[in-house]
Amino acid sequence: MAEVQEHFGRFAAGHGHLGLYARISRGVAGDAQCAELLLHARPGQARPVLWLAALHDLVLRRPDVAAARWYPSVVGADAVPVGDPWPDVRDTVLAHADELREAIATRTTQTNEVGRSVYVTAGLARAAADLPGRPVVLVELGASAGLLLAVDRYRTELLVEGEQPVVLGDPDSTVVSRGRLVGRGRLGSPSTHPLPSVVGRSGLDLDPVDLDDDDRRRWLEACLWPDVPGRVERFRAAAEIVRAHPSPLLRGDLVDDVHRAVDLAAGRAVADAGGRPHVVVLTSWALTYVDNGRRVELARRFAVLARELGEVTWLSAEPPGCVPGLPSPNRSEAQAETVLAVRRWRAGREWEPALLGTAHPHGEWVSLRRAAPPPAPPPPTTPRTG
């Protein structure tokens, strides 16, 4: 119990910018009755964010409970009262302890952060730069509900101090993600950059989320932090776009079933458009949950796919050290939370892996390296004779 309460205290201290969640966490840190609920979590899931998600799910389901009036996701940001939410939160938690205990015991935290489109679109533009005009097949590993598979259907703005924003994707989209573009790297001009045409999509996840399932969709929303402005609203708008244009989501292992996911997306693309597309496989904060040996095996499978398909790019946005084979980052990149990188196979052979930059894990900013000309592919191997 003391350890659980200490976790909440650390969360509150480290997230003081979250007015609601920091105050709730301070309350739980000093209240054994409320903290006790987290003792029912599955192994490895006993984290404050799971407790907070369970309560968020409750107020989304029951907007009449006392705590609900403190949640912008329920009443709107302008209607949240001034004062201390903890008395209402504590009353709600104790009155619905059995419901919350059940959610904590059976759920796991799962997010599908649309704001990541800030660095995914920048990475996709860079990843496809050496194949201009070539349509793309986009496959996401660890896709959850598949919201990032629709990045080209969102408006993503990269904000540059003193300059016009760089707009990627659909400029008229109802989903708008904004993040600062820092560092020396740029995407070039003009300020509006079309992304490559996406002609096929698929996602792979151990537990894919069907957005037509109200309970599953609400849990994804509950895992978002409600007092980060615009985050919940962006999720809701993106969910509507994806429900109108769904991508196939496969249930399976990130490594063992990658071939199946690529075949599904590429097969549809070839059937619809003809020709051989450029396959871009995205991992965003998914490889961090995979053992080191399995990460190496995933790279090997990409090489096999490239011999079959020709042009394959692994676009990764992962914590430092997660992606095998990347060059050593500089000091600032090694300390970043998210490293943006590519491993590329062209005509079936791998180019030198490249670091593209770094990013905030939820897309608040992206820092790009200066664009370098693509390296020459390695020479073909001369067959041995005799």
154 shares a domain with 84: no
Which of the residues in the chain have pLDDT under 70? 188-193, 268-275, 372-386
Q: Check whether residue 161 and residue 192 sit in a common domain.
A: yes
Q: Which pLDDT score, from 0 to 100, does residue 366 have?
A: 94
pLDDT digits 0-9 by tens, 68-106: 999 999 999 999 999 999 999 999 999 999 999 999 999
| Shared-domain flag, residues 180 and 221 | yes
Tell me which DSSP letter residue 173 carries: -
What was the pLDDT predicted at 383? Answer: 43
The domain total for the chain is 2
Does 55 share its domain with 134? no
Same-domain check for residues 59 and 197: no
Same domain, 174 and 88: no
Do 252 and 346 fall within a single domain? yes
Give the per-residue pLDDT at 192: 60
121, 229: one domain: yes
| CA-angle at 227, arms to 226 and 232, nearest 5° | 40
For residue 291 the two structure tokens come to: 């053992």
Q: Which helix (H) or strand (E) covers residue 222, if one does?
A: helix 214-222
Contact yes or no for 260/294 (Cβ under 8 A): no
Whether residue 139 sits in one domain with residue 258 = yes
- The CA–CA distances, whole Å, from 151 to 91, 95, 114, 332 equal 41, 41, 8, 28
Query: Is residue 190 located within the same domain as residue 165?
Result: yes
For residues 186 and 368, is the Cβ–Cβ distance under 8 A? yes
Cβ proximity of 311 and 131 under 8 Å: yes
Final residue of a domain: which of 81, 106, 131? 106
H or E segment to which residue 342 belongs: strand 338-346
In a domain, 291, yes or no: yes
pTM of the complete model beyond 0.95: no
Domain boundaries, position 83: 1-106
Helix (H, G, I), strand (E, B) or coil at 112: coil
